[in-house]
Amino acid sequence: MKRLMWGLAALLFVFLANGFAQEQPKDKTELEGTWEVIGSSIEGFEYTEEEIKNLPVRRHIYRGNKLMALDKDGKVVFEATIKVDPKQKPAAIDMTCPNLADPKTPAVVMSIYRLDGDALTICWETGLEAQRPKDFSGGIGSRLRVATFKRVQEK
């Protein structure tokens, strides 16, 4: 009888431990790595190649729940904490970063993203009281900004 009780207790422990391990958040996301801006638009108006070269942020580096935004010289423009939810439709990403208007209060940029192989598209609404976009359309008056990135192969 004692063996049966210990066996059941061990089985219960393994079952609970396995379930607990599966519920733990993973640090890595599908965005892990370095991404370079290859396209950008605001309210449907596409940036030219020259304008893209002069954007203040040229690369995103995702590591766990962190994002580093780099300029064309590789200097950090800002850092953010991210929360990714690929189960939402469309997939959601929230970026908590410095608020230029009020440095004491962080800004949360509620965005959506689409990952297609080595192409990443992120869309967010600009302005006060910005909401999470429902799609990537971004027509005139939408206040939507869309950025397209290509994965940089790590050496």
94: alpha, beta or left? (left if phi > 0; alpha if psi -120 to 50): beta
At 80 the pLDDT is: 94
Q: Which one, of 80, 72, 92, 79, lies nearest residue 30 by Cα?
A: 92
At 27 the pLDDT is: 59
At 139 the pLDDT is: 86
At 155 the pLDDT is: 67
0.85 surpassed by pTM: no
Contact of 93 with 82, CB cutoff 8 Å: yes
Tokens of 49: 């190649």
Low-confidence ranges of the chain (pLDDT < 50): 1-25
Domains in the chain: ranges and CATH: 27-152 (2.40.128.490)
The model's pLDDT over 14-56, given as tens digits with 9 standing for 90+, comes to 333 343 333 333 557 889 999 999 999 999 999 999 999 999 9
**Which residue type, as a one-letter code, is found at position 58?**
R
Tokens of 119: 């192409």
